[in-house]
C-alpha cells in the first residue's frame, strides 16, 4: 500500500495515500482496535451538515478568516459527504474517546484534504478553518441531535405510516367479523376483529405522536458552546447563526440551545427521545406476539388468522410454516430495550462540563431507529399485507366461548350467570342448554337476549 506523510501536534504519521483523512484519524485507527462497530453514517452526514452550517456562519461573522474561497471548498466537500460520495473515508470505530473528538477530527481532516485537492492548493487547515469557532465538545452533541431528528423523520415515522395504513386496510376488509375476545390468555367477551386491529393501529399512532413530541428538545443544538459551554474562541452569535443555517438546510426547526452548559454535559433529550422509541418497541412486540398467537396452528392452535408462508419453517418437519417476521420484529424490540438501558446509564455518566459516553449513546440510538424502521417495513410487506382472516374458525371459537355468558348478567345476576357457565363447561353443553336446564331462562328468552351484535 502506498502512503503519504501527514502531521499533527504530536508529529508525523503515515496515512494511506488514497484516503483523505489525516494524522489524528490514523492515530485513532491504530490505537482503538476495539470491536467492529464503525461510527454510523447518519452521524457522518450530520457532521457534514453542521460543518457546512458552521462555515456559512463563520463566513457571515468572520469573513476575514472564512473567505469566499474557503467557504466554497468546505461547502463543496460537505455536499459530497452528505451525498455519500466519500463514505470510505470515515473508518473510526464507536469505541474511541467518549467525546467523539476523533470522529470530529476525521471529518475535519477529510474536508480539509479533499477541499485542498479541489482548490489545487493547501489552503484549508482542519483545525483553523474547518473547525473554526467549534470544539468536538459542541459539534459531537450537535451531530447527535441532528442525526436523531433526521433518522426519526426520514426512517421511523414513514415506517410507522406504512404499517398503520396496512392495518387500516385490514380493518375495512373485516368490519363485520365478530370473534371471541381474550384477556389473560382466557376467553373473554366478543369483539369485532376490526376493533382488535384498531387497537394495534392505535398503539402505532400513539407512538408516532410521542416521536413527534420528542423532536422538540432534540432540536436545540449545542453548537456555539465550544469546549466547556462558555463559547471561547467563538463569536457570540455563532451558535444562533449556525443553527439557523442548519435549520434552513434540513427544513427543520433547529435552534441554538440557550444554556450551552446544559447542552454539553447532559444527554437528557436523547434519553427522553429514546424512551419514545422504546415505547414503540413495546407496542410492536405486543402486536407481533398477538399476530403469532392468532396465527398459531394450523390445527392445534388458535388459527384465527393466516400469515404468508415466506419460507420453509423447519429443517426436519416438512410443510411447517413459522411466524418468522413476528420473530424478527420481537428480537429487534428486545435489542431496542437493551439499547435504552445502555443509553440511560451512559447519559448518567461523564464529569463536570462534559458527558464522555456520547459515541455509545448515539450508536445505540441510531441502531434502534434502523432496527425498528427496517423491522416494520419488512413486517408490513412480508406479513401484515398478506394476512388473511379465517372467519369460520373465528365464528366457531366465538360460539364455543363460555364468556359470552356475560350478556346474561343483567337478567339473572352475576352468580346465576356463573352457574350457567360452570354447568355448560362441566357437561359440555351450550350456554342456551345450561340456562334452560337450571331454570333461569327459557330457550326463547335466551335467544331474545343472546345476540353477538349487541355484545360489541
Q: What is the DSSP annotation of 139-170?
A: HHHHHHHHHHHHHIIIIIHHHHHHHHHHHHHH
Residue 141: predicted pLDDT: 98
Neighbours of 182 (CB within 10 A): 19
Element (H, E) at 253: none
What is the C-alpha to C-alpha distance for residues 267 and 362, in angstroms, rounded to an integer? 10
Mean pLDDT by 10 residues, the chain (456 residues): 92 96 97 97 98 98 98 98 98 98 98 98 98 98 98 98 98 97 96 98 98 98 98 98 98 98 98 98 98 96 95 90 97 98 96 97 98 98 97 96 95 96 95 95 93 93
Determine the pLDDT at residue 359: 98
What is the reported pLDDT for 270? 98
Per-residue model confidence (pLDDT) at position 332: 98
CATH 1.10.40.30 domain span(s) along the chain: 402-455
> Quick check: 289 and 200 in contact, CB under 8 A?
no
The pLDDT, as a whole number, for residue 313 is 86
**pLDDT at residue 132 in the model:** 98
Q: Which CATH architecture has domain 140-176+184-212+263-392?
A: Up-down Bundle (1.20)
pLDDT digits (tens, 9 = 90+) for 360-394: 999 999 999 999 999 999 999 999 999 999 999 99
What CA–CA distance (Å, rounded) separates 187 from 404? 9
Fold of 3-132: Fumarase C; Chain B, domain 1 (1.10.275)
Query: Which residues belong to the active site?
Result: 184, 314
- Segment (H or E) for 95: none
Which residue intervals of the chain bear CATH 1.10.275.10? Answer: 3-132
CATH 1.20.200.10 residue window(s) in the chain = 140-176+184-212+263-392
Half-sphere exposure of 78 (CA within 13 A, CB side): 22
pLDDT number for residue 199: 98
Name the CATH topology of 402-455: Ribonucleotide Reductase Protein R1; domain 1 (1.10.40)
At residue 6, the pLDDT reads 93
pLDDT given for residue 1 in this prediction? 81
Residue 440's pLDDT is what? Answer: 96
Contact between 187 and 402 under an 8 Å Cβ cutoff? The reply is: yes
Amino acid at each position: 500500500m502506498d502512503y503519504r506523510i501527514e502531521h499533527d501536534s504530536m508529529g508525523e504519521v503515515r496515512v494511506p495515500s488514497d484516503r483523505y483523512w489525516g494524522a489524528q484519524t490514523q492515530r485513532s485507527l491504530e490505537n482503538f482496535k476495539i470491536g467492529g462497530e464503525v461510527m454510523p453514517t447518519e452521524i457522518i452526514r450530520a457532521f457534514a451538515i453542521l460543518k457546512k452550517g458552521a462555515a456559512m456562519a463563520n463566513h457571515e461573522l468572520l469573513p476575514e478568516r472564512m473567505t469566499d474561497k474557503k467557504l466554497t471548498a468546505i461547502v463543496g466537500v460537505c455536499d459530497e459527504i452528505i451525498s455519500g460520495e466519500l463514505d470510505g473515508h470515515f473508518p473510526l470505530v464507536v469505541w474511541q474517546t467518549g467525546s467523539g473528538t476523533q470522529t470530529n477530527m476525521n471529518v475535519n481532516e477529510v474536508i480539509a484534504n479533499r477541499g485542498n485537492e479541489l482548490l489545487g492548493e493547501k489552503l484549508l487547515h482542519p483545525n483553523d478553518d474547518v473547525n473554526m469557532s467549534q470544539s468536538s465538545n459542541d459539534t459531537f452533541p450537535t451531530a447527535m441531535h441532528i442525526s436523531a431528528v433526521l433518522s426519526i423523520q426520514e426512517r421511523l415515522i414513514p415506517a410507522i405510516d406504512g404499517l398503520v395504513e396496512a392495518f387500516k386496510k385490514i380493518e375495512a376488509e373485516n368490519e363485520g367479523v365478530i370473534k371471541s375476545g381474550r384477556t389473560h390468555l382466557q376467553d373473554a367477551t366478543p369483539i369485532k376483529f376490526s376493533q382488535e386491529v384498531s387497537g394495534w393501529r392505535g398503539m402505532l399512532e400513539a407512538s408516532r405522536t410521542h416521536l413527534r413530541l420528542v423532536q422538540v428538545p432534540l432540536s436545540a443544538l449545542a453548537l456555539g458552546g465550544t469546549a466547556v459551554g462558555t463559547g471561547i474562541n467563538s463569536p457570540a452569535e455563532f451558535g444562533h447563526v449556525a443553527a439557523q443555517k442548519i435549520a434552513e438546510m434540513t427544513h427543520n426547526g433547529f435552534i441554538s440551545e440557550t444554556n450551552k452548559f446544559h447542552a454539553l454535559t447532559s444527554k437528557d433529550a436523547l434519553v427522553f427521545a429514546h424512551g419514545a422509541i422504546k415505547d414503540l418497541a413495546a407496542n410492536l412486540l405486543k402486536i407481533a406476539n398477538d399476530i403469532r398467537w392468532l396465527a398459531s396452528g394450523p390445527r392445534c392452535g388458535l388459527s384465527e388468522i393466516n400469515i404468508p408462508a415466506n419460507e420453509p419453517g423447519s429443517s426436519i418437519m416438512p410443510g411447517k410454516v413459522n411466524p418468522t417476521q413476528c420473530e424478527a420484529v420481537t428480537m429487534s424490540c428486545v435489542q431496542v430495550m437493551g439499547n435504552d438501558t445502555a443509553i440511560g446509564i451512559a447519559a448518567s455518566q461523564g464529569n463536570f462540563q462534559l458527558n464522555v459516553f456520547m459515541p455509545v449513546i448515539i450508536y445505540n440510538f441510531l441502531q434502534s431507529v434502523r432496527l425498528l424502521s427496517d423491522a416494520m417495513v419488512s413486517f408490513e410487506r412480508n406479513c401484515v399485507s398478506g394476512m388473511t382472516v379465517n372467519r369460520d374458525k373465528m365464528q366457531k371459537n366465538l360460539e364455543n366461548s363460555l364468556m359470552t355468558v356475560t350478556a346474561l348478567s343483567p337478567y339473572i345476576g352475576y352468580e346465576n350467570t356463573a352457574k350457567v357457565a360452570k354447568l355448560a363447561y362441566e357437561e359440555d353443553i351450550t350456554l342456551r342448554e345450561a340456562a334452560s336446564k337450571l331454570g333461569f331462562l327459557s330457550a326463547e328468552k335466551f335467544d331474545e337476549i343472546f345476540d353477538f351484535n349487541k355484545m360489541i
